[in-house]
Amino acid sequence: MEENEIANKPKEGTYNEMTPSGDRKPKITFELDVPEEVTFSPDFVKPRELPSQDRGVFYIFECLHEGEEKVFLTAAWSMLQGLKDVEPLAGKTVIITKNMKEGKQHYDVEDLTNPEVPVERPGDEEPSDEDTEKVKKKGEE
């Protein structure tokens, strides 16, 4: 038996992981530089894991896209990290954009439900005229 014949055969437990054809939802295909808006259901907890043949894992996310229930599969670190950064995903709407960075695929994830509010840190504010005068006087002393 040749090595590639073994690679093409199902692994143990595959049948239990398979989804019946009638239960399959359409997939979202991410095109380069085309933002895709997806909304997770309010009861979304976490993606399903699907083992790949190279002993890795794909993650299956169920969502609403263009008014229809769809799924997207990913093993891309940049997308996974972007989604992890905006958790919890339940009820959130995000925009996922596929692009190229340094010759590699990269995904940007933007949270539309809770857009980041700039965090003001002490010292970030513009100095008042009074503060500017104090600094000038100290410099003259």
Options 3.20.20, 1.20.1300, 3.40.1710, 2.40.50; CATH of 23-117? 2.40.50
Instruction: Give φ, ψ of 114 to 5 degrees.
Output: -130, 75
Tokens (6 digits) for 30? 């991410």
Q: Which of 40, 37, 31 is nearest to 95 (CA)?
A: 37
Q: What residues does 51 pair with on adjacent strands?
A: 57
Distance in angstroms (rounded) separating the CA atoms of residues 60 and 47: 5
Predicted pLDDT of residue 102: 92
- Other CB atoms within a 10 A radius of the CB of residue 139 amount to 7
Contact yes or no for 109/86 (Cβ under 8 A): yes
Instruction: Give φ, ψ of 31 to 5 degrees.
Output: -95, 155
Distance in angstroms (rounded) separating the CA atoms of residues 55 and 10: 13
Q: What is the pLDDT of residues 90-137, one digit of tens each?
A: 999 999 999 999 999 999 999 998 766 443 434 445 555 665 565 555
User: What percentage of the chain exceeds 90 in pLDDT?
Assistant: 57
Is residue 76 exposed (0-12), middle (13-18) or buried (19+ Cβ within 10 Å)?
middle
The model carries a pTM of: 0.66
